[in-house]
Structure 1
């Protein structure tokens, strides 16, 4: 019965009613909390009429709130003269400015704009979380000069940024400009670290030739560090194009590559249908999520290829140990965790250290899903906690801000950039926020 199903899917603390209104390409919904009179009416209404009513509308729960959105993304140039100079030189083409990655530190919300095409003035940027403008201008970070594509030390092409417990921002810079066009290598591929307290770049580590393959393209980064020993950080970097994992040790200032069959894409699950655009991608090793430490101080690194529906895992005690990796059978220590089900391909994943729940982007479903690691991973235990065919189209990056217990998501409908063009008269890019407590409730309620 619909009411029974509704109560299972939406815990009482989050019970909401959604009223249908016209949307772009799909229905969108306005949230109206259930009142006691509405509840009494629902209890007395004829069940057949209720079934008909619910079949004509959609009832769900959505913990996400849109905090920022843009039709087109613009920059906070120093002045109009500078803006015009960027336009004249071709260094600013607004249609090519597409946000992808995000993170939060204090009142700063960092946003990356990869240089997929020419005309991106700044790759790494920030806005204030306290901004009253809900379509704010981007401020280059740490400054304009650091993002100047013509500078020998420029930040060229960072996809995602991760922040560690030592107040440092980490990212991999592919060094390539105009990826979808001329594919112009401007800088060597390198790992970047920025001290967020001083806004200074404190590390530029060029990867070694042995770390790279001809098709290497770094997708995501995870930081493994004890805040009591900040100089002993390990950084895990997923290579979606070369199908590998590159580990960096800050204490050793050294890096090494790990290869494994689990890093490859699944040829049976490389198809996507986003906004009516049907395509195939071969992206391998991508999203990673790091567990809390166990008794032996090791952690579990969960990972998946983007074009795939399985989740895998390996102990950090192996991937941090170059001696152990010299064993020809090191590959036997990687494990299949489970199958998430059809059409569960995704980019980023994030581990909530307080609850043991991992969150995943869902590209083919315009959704965010969850899996409680206390349970087996299978399609029944892999659950959607937010879905929207207008505002969550191609959720590209997610992050957890542990101090405020908030969850952030950026959606950008990225395939449109490659295969079509954005309609600048409609909203194309969204940043959403949710309470992790609400997401936890939603995730676990569906197991009841």
Structure 2
């Protein structure tokens, strides 16, 4: 069966379907030159950028990895304003400042460095903490301080109460392990604890699965999680940058009636998939990974909305695409492109049928070319174009 699926779906994103009726309007909701913090300052603001963003009711949650020192907040939020866009709105700590300094507090009771979060159907937010600080600011590079093991932390958004913190065990990590992305999946018919959390080990080149109900971890490895050395250079508007990361973006969707895990490493231009039942089985030694489609350039985020539509963004093309064969045909559909504001799309979130995205000009951090007097970071919303304009 999977061979037939591959023949049908192995398409090239360069051949995206494009129609004016598919294009969505881009609304810039929040933007920053450099990130600002409530009641705190950073001594190197040009080195702080967000990688994760999730929208929930009147709040927008933001993840700011501590790839350099002196970043006061790694997991924060801002109020969501509808009537007018905001500029340089101060980021507030979540849940408060006492959680923002695990290194100083000791006993690993707070955050060290978070990359992304996901909100589940039970209104809990889960974030992955890499446990590492100053990876890009160290000499030599990628020699961070590691005050804590990598951990998954959860909070109840209805009450604001802490739910859980669990350290990823040594048995499923390696010396390079750096978790930067996560996705969640509930067991059909199960309760709030019947869920899996999938962790992308971007520098350790693997996938770690956490079974929440059984409190157990296991690791999968596959060549498809690894970077392609020929794809480590990316280009945006003529600016080249080097990033040789492995597995990053992932999401879960239904394909031909079966739940599948869809993913890509950063330094590759192939989108892959594997039936979820193999991912969720700790006894599986060889994952039956298959290519799903060829991308026109590298990409970071993947996300699936409530209609089983997968969203993605290509770095060089500075666009947003969506893919749902049952709704839009076999090829990805272009829904928005913006060579200024979509540098680099780092995360997606959904609020009903609204698509939210965050961009961070990652190439500016890597190349030390962040704008001094212009916008670098944005949170945007995609909506159907309004008539009468």
Residue 145 of structure 1: aligned partner: 98
Residue 177 of structure 1: aligned partner: 133
Residue 14 of structure 2: aligned partner: none
Secondary structure class of the residue paired with 1:176: coil
Task: Give 1 or 2: higher helix fraction.
Answer: 1
Structure 2 distance, partners of 1:369, 1:377, is 13
After TM superposition, give the deviation of residue 376 of structure 1 in Å. 11
Unaligned runs of 5+ in 2: 1-17, 139-143
After TM superposition, give the deviation of residue 275 of structure 1 in Å. 4.7
Higher RCO structure (Cα 8 Å, ≥6 apart): 2
Task: Provide closer, same or farther for how the CA distance between residues 292 and 338 of structure 1 changes in structure 2, counting only shifts above 3 A.
Answer: closer
2:73 equivalent to 1:122: yes
Structure 2 distance, partners of 1:138, 1:170, is 19
* Aligned match for 1:346, one of 281, 299, 302: 299
* Aligned match for 1:416, one of 359, 364, 375: 364
Contact 1:191 1:205 (8 Å CA) reproduced:
yes
Structure 2 distance, partners of 1:268, 1:203, is 40
Contact 1:358 1:373 (8 Å CA) reproduced:
no
Residue 58 of structure 2: aligned partner: 107
2:174 equivalent to 1:213: yes
Contact 1:359 1:370 (8 Å CA) reproduced:
yes
After TM superposition, give the deviation of residue 106 of structure 1 in Å. 1.3
Structure 1 distance, partners of 2:118, 2:151, is 15
Contact 2:253 2:310 (8 Å CA) reproduced:
no
Q: Which stretch of structure 1 is more off in the superposition, 252-261 or 263-272?
A: 263-272
* Aligned match for 1:391, one of 318, 323, 341: 341
TM-score normalised by structure 1 residue count: 0.75
Residue 334 of structure 1: aligned partner: 289
Superposed counterparts of 1:161-240, under 5 Å: 161-182=117-138, 183-226=144-187, 228-240=190-202
Residue 19 of structure 2: aligned partner: 9
After TM superposition, give the deviation of residue 269 of structure 1 in Å. 2.6
Secondary structure class of the residue paired with 2:326: coil
Secondary structure class of the residue paired with 1:389: coil
Residue 76 of structure 1: aligned partner: 38
Contact 1:194 1:201 (8 Å CA) reproduced:
yes
Query: How many residues matched?
Result: 358
Contact 1:339 1:377 (8 Å CA) reproduced:
no
Q: Which stretch of structure 1 is more off in the superposition, 383-392 or 214-223?
A: 383-392
Structure 2 distance, partners of 1:315, 1:277, is 37
Secondary structure class of the residue paired with 1:291: strand
Contact 1:97 1:119 (8 Å CA) reproduced:
no
After TM superposition, give the deviation of residue 294 of structure 1 in Å. 7.8
Unaligned runs of 5+ in 1: 1-7, 15-60, 78-82, 439-448
* Aligned match for 1:305, one of 238, 251, 265: 265
After TM superposition, give the deviation of residue 157 of structure 1 in Å. 0.9
After TM superposition, give the deviation of residue 427 of structure 1 in Å. 1.1
Structure 1 distance, partners of 2:327, 2:271, is 14
TM-score normalised by structure 2 residue count: 0.85
